[in-house]
Amino acid sequence: MRTSVKITGGLALLTIGYILGASQILSPSVLLAQGKGKTKAAADAQAAQPLSDETKTKVKAAADALKAAMEALQSENHYNSAIKSVNAFAVLSGGGDSLEDLKRVGGVDPETFAALYAGLATDQVVVDLGRDAEGRMTYKGRVVRMYPVSVIRAAYARRAEITGEDLLPVTVDESPKSKSKKTEPTEDDSTEEEK
């Protein structure tokens, strides 16, 4: 009698496990970086979250200051943009010519890159924009790319020099060459007091 109860209980657990596994009730949902993730309505709702009047005033003042700095850079021929809005990255790093960079090398700063994909190119640029077979943005048939990391770091270094911000890059280099061996101090390394 006890054997039949154990067998019946085991079969019942096996059947429940099979049904739950086949129906995927307890499975985690699929996570996607693009596509079915946030809907347009969800993105609009997030963007529409109200800001306090004080915060709005400060954001407006910052935008006005960026625009004034942009105009000063333009008057000194240090700023020429391929996008309609103020390029805060270029302004804060002392200027830039994203239009010429786009024409000459096809590489642009991160803000210009994002604005081009968002449809904010100037009228002069938009006529030459397109897409390749892989859906990448092109300018006059060449793929638009972001600046190399070394150029972006140099821009942040200029920004730190201009603004006084502490923008030391955090880099992690785990290559075998970067791991130094512990060595005993040599006679040259000793201080005056030790001698």
Cα–Cα distance, 150 to 161 (Å, whole number): 17
The residue behind tokens 């968002």 is 118
pLDDT category at 94 given cuts 50, 70, 90 is very high
Q: Give per-residue pLDDT as tens, 108-166.
A: 999 999 999 999 999 999 999 999 888 889 998 899 999 998 899 999 999 999 988 88
pTM of the complete model = 0.62
Cβ partners under 8 Å of residue 62, min gap 6: none
SS3 string, 23-85, reads HCCCCCCCCCCCCCCCCHHHHHHHHCCCCCHHHHHHHHHHHHHHHHHHHHHHHCCCEECCECC
Higher pLDDT, 110 or 182: 110
Q: Residue 171: which pLDDT band, with cuts at 50, 70 and 90?
A: low
**What CA–CA distance (Å, rounded) separates 13 from 72?**
75
Percent residues over pLDDT 70 in the chain: 73
Please state the rounded mean pLDDT for residues 25-52. Answer: 62
Mean pLDDT of the chain: 80
Does residue 24 register a pLDDT over 80? no
> Pick the residue with more confidence: 53 or 180?
53
Two structure tokens written together for 122:
């100037």
Residue 122 phi, psi (nearest 5): -70, 160
Angle subtended at Cα 128 by Cα 124 and Cα 132, rounded to the nearest 5 degrees: 150
